[in-house]
Amino acid sequence: MKVLVLDGVAEEGLVPFREEPGLEIDIKKKLTEDELVEIIPQYHAMIVRSATKVTPRVLDHANNMIVVGRAGVGVDNIDLAAATNKGVLVVNAPDGNTIAAAELTMAMILGLSRSVPQANATLRSGKWDKKAFMGVELRGRTLGVLGMGRIGSNVAKRALAMEMNIVAYDPYINEEAAAKMGVKVLPLEDVLKQADFLTIHMPKTKESYHLINEKTIAVMKDGVRIINCARGGIIDEEALYNAIKSGKVAGAALDVFEKEPNTESPLYEFNNVIMTPHLGASTEEAQLNVAVDVAKEIVAALKGEVVKNTVNIPSLDAKTMAAVKPYLDLAGRLGNFHAQMITGRVNKIELIYSGELSALEVTPITTAFLKGMLDPILQENVNFVNASVIAKNRGIEVIQTTAEMAKDYNNLMTAKVYCESGERVLAATLLQGNVAHLVNIDGYRVDVVPSGHMLVVPHYDRPKIIGKVGTLIGEHDINIAAMQVGRKEIGGKAVMVLTIDDVVPDDTLRAIAQVDGILDVKFVSL
Ligand SMILES: NC(=O)C1=CN([C@@H]2O[C@H](COP(=O)(O)OP(=O)(O)OC[C@H]3O[C@@H](n4cnc5c(N)ncnc54)[C@H](O)[C@@H]3O)[C@@H](O)[C@H]2O)C=CC1
Ligand SMILES: O=C(O)C(=O)COP(=O)(O)O
């Protein structure tokens, strides 16, 4: 397998790749979209930082791509929807550069409060100008933190050590944990009103795009200083320009810009604006950390193992994964079994998780079912990343419910599939040793290990029928390994499931279907 490494990812961190026999690494610096499109089909994985744009067009050509790794946090340069549709996993390395970004933010806050870069530049130009650089102290001033995640909370921790008051806005955090740290979580407007320094640490999303704009700046204190080491685009740069020009904003420190690289901007006009070229993660430690972390994740993804930091599918912790894993296999088999039993368009899938299963995180199990069912039916590559999206795009309604009790079983997964030809129901359980057992077909009780070749034959419960089916199969020298009959009442309808050692030819299937009393024949191979 081949991995493409771009954007100057730290080579010394790629050790996990070098330890994998058979993995080829290509390290390239800067590629245009056209160049990327041309070479991308040969790669199974790629690593980027923030420079390369992984566009829908690039992904469209990435026919062998399994995983895209981001050596860092922000994935706004990767088209996640296109990756998901293509079945490409996206992983990031969110922990390795937290301290680097938090420390740059502190450097920006201190740089702004004492005009360090400007004073340095003036002195170098031959001027000893003490008067021009009267600073302000941080002690006792209020720092507003927008986004109290990894970086925001590390900035808060450091600013507390400098005796600042901290107020924060983050609608998705635990206020108690923040309060314990000494941070007051407030509505956005209050944070904007109270902050002497305002620092941004949220991702760029539809919600946060241009969050700092003419209106929100108007709410802020006169003389506020604004720091952005998160993402360009969260600040409307034109509004910031106007606010600095008018004196409303006393200074700004920007590491990120709406358009990068950014070497020309009206903001260069102001001496009270400090700008750095997206250096937040640029420390030796951070670059080593993120390269190692993302390389490990990519190796795991290529080997089909559990990946922690997935961005486009929910990631599961090791404990949850261990509990869910046996059911992923069961669900995949059940989905695949269904795919071979149904005819016509699928409209709705209802999955009922009962007994012990109801206490688990069942969404990945649903995904495993969808993958198992859709993969054999569709031309496109269906995997854990795109299975739910594909189902949705095809208008298949997926309902997942749980029930605490599973009659007669410890755990039971029931899958009802509604399609043009009607409704089919399969139910399966995990018995000792995590072996999957199919225990119900369309309301008939059976006990079949869903594996290998099987024949499912609904029929009338009458003498001679089973014998005739056995004879027809025997005539083709196919051995029957196991046989099960499920019936509700004597003489009514029943279902026969034969586990056989070989593929049954189509003409034999037709001959079986013609036996008087046989209602249908399905050959299922897992
Ligand atoms: N300048 C640089 O080189 C670097 C920039 N970053 C950027 O810094 C930002 C923060 O990174 P982390 O702290 O690691 O991420 P994180 O995911 O740990 O924290 C982000 C926080 O923002 C909050 N949030 C999300 N949407 C919000 C909204 N609309 N309003 C308020 N809060 C919101 C989330 O609840 C979360 O607590 C990201 O944009 C990341 O890309 C990260 C590393 C280096
Ligand atoms: O991790 C992040 O989100 C960053 O912004 C770091 O970007 P970089 O890897 O230095 O291009």
C-beta separation of 410 from 114 below 8 A: no
The Å distance, Cα 434 to ligand 2 centre, comes to 43
Same domain, 36 and 159: no
CATH number at residue 365: 3.30.1330.90
Separation in Å, CA 350 to CA 93, 120, 362: 36, 67, 13
Q: Is the CB of 86 under 6 A from ligand 2?
A: no
What digits encode the pLDDT tens for the residues 451-500? 999 999 999 998 989 999 999 999 988 999 999 999 888 888 999 999 99
Q: Is the CB of 233 under 6 A from ligand 2?
A: no
With b for 16 or more beta-carbon neighbours within 10 A and e for fewer, the 22-57 pattern comes to ebebeeeeebeeeebbeebeebbbbbbbbebebeeb
pLDDT at 97: 97
Same domain, 336 and 405: yes
Same domain, 266 and 140: yes
Among the bound ligands, the one closest to the CA of 228: 1
Same domain, 89 and 128: no
pLDDT at 385: 78
- Phi first, then psi, for residue 427 (nearest 5°) are -135, 145
Average pLDDT, the chain: 93
pLDDT at 314: 64
| Res. 307: pLDDT tops 90 | no
Tell me the pLDDT band of 145, cut-offs 50, 70 and 90.
very high
Q: How far apart are CA 52 and CA 49, in angstroms?
A: 7
What digits encode the pLDDT tens for the residues 86-133? 889 999 999 999 999 999 999 999 999 999 999 999 999 999 999 999
The Å distance, Cα 260 to ligand 1 centre, comes to 18
What is the set of active-site residues? 231, 260, 278
Tell me the pLDDT band of 389, cut-offs 50, 70 and 90.
confident
Residue of 55, 59, 23, 61 whose CA lies nearest to 41: 61
pLDDT at 1: 95
Q: How far apart are CA 292 and CA 18, in angstroms?
A: 11
Hey, is 279 helix, strand or coil? coil
With the most atoms of ligand 2 within 8 angstroms of its CB, the residue from 48, 73, 202 to mutate is 73
The Å distance, Cα 109 to ligand 1 centre, comes to 18
Same domain, 83 and 202: no
What digits encode the pLDDT tens for the residues 268-296? 999 999 999 999 999 999 999 999 999 99
pLDDT at 194: 98
Same domain, 226 and 299: no
Residue of 287, 196, 405, 336 whose CA lies nearest to 7: 287
Range of the domain at 2: 1-95+281-313
Give the containing element (helix H, strand E) for 492. Answer: none
Protein residue with least CA distance to atom 10, ligand 2 = 281
pLDDT at 317: 66
Same domain, 332 and 302: no
Entry pTM: 0.75
Among the bound ligands, the one closest to the CA of 7: 2
What digits encode the pLDDT tens for the residues 50-60? 999 999 999 99
72 CA: nearest ligand 1 atom: 43
ipTM (interface pTM): 0.99
Q: How far apart are CA 412 and CA 265, in angstroms?
A: 62
pLDDT at 318: 66
pLDDT at 356: 93
